[in-house]
A and B are shown apart, each in its own frame.
Chain A
Amino acid sequence: MDQLRSRTDVDLSVDLAGIQMQNPLTTASGTSGYGPELSSYVDLSRLGAFTTKSITVEPREGNPAPRIVETRAGVINSIGLANVGLEKFLAEKLPSAAKLGVPILVNVAGKTIDEYLTVASALDRVEEIAGLEINISCPNVAAGGLEFGTNCAMASELIRTLRGAVKRAKLIVKLSPNVTDICEVARAAVEAGADALSLINTLRGMAINVEAKRPVLPRGFGGLSGPAVHPVAVYCVWRVYREVAKPAGVPIIGLGGVQLWQDAMELMLAGATAVAIGTALFIDPQCPIKILDGMTDYCRRHGVRRIADLIGTVAPPTAQ
C-alpha cells in the first residue's frame, strides 16, 4: 500500500459522469457478490468503485445447477440473477459495501419496467449509492433482461422512464453484445438520458456434453465471459466510444475478459473511462491490485501524468 501511495507521480483518478473514482477499476456485477465475500482476499477499498450483484424487487433463487461451465479461455454462466431482493439488500448487504469508502454502483434488474422503476427509485433515495447500473443485458432469465437490451424501442422506453424517476444517482446502462449493432442500443440509451454506458455483458454461449448428447447447462445456454470475450469487448467499446459516447460526452465502463493490466489499458485506449473486472476475480481476487500496479507502471513508462488523458487515444486504423 505504501508502495502505491508513493507513486504520486501518476494520477489514476477518473471522473465517471460525476462519480469521482480514485482509479479506473471496479468490479463486474455478479462476480464479487455484495462485497464481504471477497474481503478476506483483497482490500476492496483500493478499487475506484464497487459494483454489486444484480438486485431485483423480490428475492430470486436463481437457476438450477449446474450454473457454470468452463470453456476454452472462458466460462459460461447461467446464475439467473439469484439475489436477496431489494428489501434485504438495503437492510443487510448495503451497509457493509458502503463501509468500503469507494463509490458504490448497484446493478438493477427486472422483468418489467415497473420492477426496474421500483428498485431504481428505492436505491436513488440511498445516499451511499453513487450509481445505478441498469442491467438490460442478462441472458439468463426468461423474462425481461435481454429483451430490453436487444430492442431499441424497449430500451429507450425503460431508460426514459427511469430518467424521470432517478434524481440523484447516476444512470449507467449496461449493454449486451448480443445484437446486430451495439451502437444502435447505445444511442437509444444515451438519447433517453443515460449518464454512462457499461459494456459488454456476457455473450450468449452454449456447451454440449458430447457423450451424453445433452447441453451442459439446464437452460441450454448461458453467458460467456472470461479472456475469450475480451477482443469483442475492445471492439464494442472502440465503436461505441467513437460513434456514440464521445460525441455525446457520455463515459463508458469497459468490461469483458480483463485479466491483465494490458487488457485494462486496451479498453481505456479504446475509449473506456473505467474498467470492470469480472471472471478474473474468481481466479485471483487480488488481480485488481496487480492490474493497478501494471497500469501505473505503464503510465510512467509512457510519461503520462493523468491516466484520464489516455482515454480513447488509440490511433485510427491505417487501412480502410
Chain B
Amino acid sequence: MAHHLDNKAVHQAEVLSNRPISAGKDQPNYLLELKLDRSFTALPGQFIQIQISEPPLTTHRELEHQNGEFQPWTVEAELDHKTPLLNRPFSLADLRTVDGFTQASVLYKVRGPGTIRLSQFRASDNLTLFGPLGSSVFTLPERVDRVVMVGGGLGLAGLLFWTNGLIEKGLPVTMVAGAPTAEQIPLPKELWSQRTGDTRNLSNVFSRLGPEAVNLYVATDDGSAGHKGFVTEVFDQVLAEKPPSERWAVYACGPWAMLRLIARAADEANVFCQVSLEEMMACGIGACQACVIKVRADNHQGWQYKLCCTQGPVFDARTIVWDQD
C-alpha cells in the first residue's frame, strides 16, 4: 500500500451494517461496516473522526413521518443544540477494497451519548467522516520473529487492522485480550471460547484470527473467560517464555495504567514496543491543541507535549513520560 499520510479529507460513508458482536447488554461492543469511495485509504494505526452531531437518516425519516412531509427546518432544529456535539475519534479495525469501493470496519463500545447515537445508524444511512488522521503509524522493525498484540478492553480494536496485515505477511502472532467480563471481550465468541477455529461465518475483521494464525490469550477481571486478572499478568507470562534467540515486536492499545506496565515490561526485556494512545480531542486535525501527550525531549524540562492527533497516535513506548501524576 502506498503511503497515505497526506490524503486526509471529508468523506461520505454508507453504512453497510452496524450491530453488536456479542450478546452483552451492558456497554455492548458494536461492529460498524462502512462503504466509502475508493479514494479513502489509511495505514494501520491511523484513525477517523465520525460526525455524530448529525442524527442518522432513520431519525430524519421518523421526523418526516411525524410531520407528514419532509421539513428541512425540523431536521435543522434537531441538529441544532443537541448533544452529542463533537465528532468522535475511532480507530479502524480493518480496511479492504471490495468491488472498487473501500470498506472500513469500526469496532466500538456503546457507552455514552456519542456511541449511543452511532449505534442508531442503520444500513443505507450515510455518515460523514474525516480522515485518515494521524501521521505516526504502526511500523515493523527488521527481522521480527513474532509479534505480540496486547489489547485492554476496546483497545484491541486499534490493533486489528495492523494484526490482519501482519498475518497476511505470514508473521506468527500472539494476542492478549483483556476485558472486565467475557461478554465484553471485543472479539466474537467463536475466537476465544472453545477455540474451534471455525471462522467461516465471521466478519472480515475477525476471519483471519483463527487458531492457525493467532495464539490467543484472554484475561477477564471476573474470571468468566481465560485468566482471572489483568492482561498485563498474561503479557508477563508470554514475555517470560520468549526464546532468547527470537526478536519480538509488541503493539499495545488500552487504558493508560495498562500501557504503562506493558511498556515497562517490554523495555526491561529490551523488546520493541509501540503503543497507540488516545486523549480527549475536539478537532482531530491539530487545530484545537487539546490532545497532548507528554513525551521525553532533549530540553531544559526533559519533556514536551505532542499532539496525539497529528503527531500520533502511535508512539514508541520508550518516548512516553508514563508517570504523569
Contact = CB atoms under 8 A, between A and B. Distances in A.
Interface of A: 30-33, 37-38, 40-41, 53, 61-62, 64-70, 72-75, 77, 79, 82, 226-228, 259-260, 279, 281-286
B83 interface: yes
B10 A41 contact: yes
Interface in B207-242: none
A131 to B, nearest CB: 20
Given A40-B9, A284-B51, A70 B289 contact: no
A80 to B, nearest CB: 9
A64 B324 contact: yes
B287 A227 contact: no
Given A37-B285, A61-B305, A70 B291 contact: no
B289 A79 contact: yes
Nearest to B7: A40
B86 interface: yes
Given A41-B130, A65-B291, A77-B290, A282 B282 contact: yes
Most B CB contacts (10 A, CB to CB) among A41, A66, A68, A227 go to A68
Contact of B283 (A61, A64, A281, A286): A281
B82 interface: yes
A67 B289 CA distance: 8
Contacts of A70: 83-86
Ranked nearest first, the 10 interchain pairs of A and B with the lowest CB-CB distance are A68-B290, A33-B287, A282-B282, A37-B287, A66-B280, A67-B290, A282-B283, A227-B81, A37-B286, A82-B289
Chain B contact-residue range equals: 35 or more
B97 to A, nearest CB: 23
Interface of B: 8-10, 51, 53, 76, 79-87, 128, 130, 279-283, 285-294, 304-305, 310, 324
- Residue among B288, B292, B305 with max Cβ neighbours from chain A (10 Å): B288
Given A32-B287, A284-B51, A62 B292 contact: yes
A17 to B, nearest CB: 26
A281 B305 contact: no
Contacts, number: 108
Contacts of B51: 283-284
A282 B52 CA distance: 12
A177 B96 CA distance: 50
Contacts of B304: 61
A260 B290 contact: no
Nearest to B73: A262
Contact of B280 (A30, A65, A260, A283): A65
Given A33-B287, A82-B305, A40 B282 contact: no
Contacts of B10: 41, 285-286
Contacts of B81: 73, 227-228
Contacts of A65: 279-280, 290-293
Nearest to B8: A40
Nearest to A33: B287
Nearest to A34: B287
Contact of A282 (B80, B86, B128): B86
Contacts of A79: 288-290
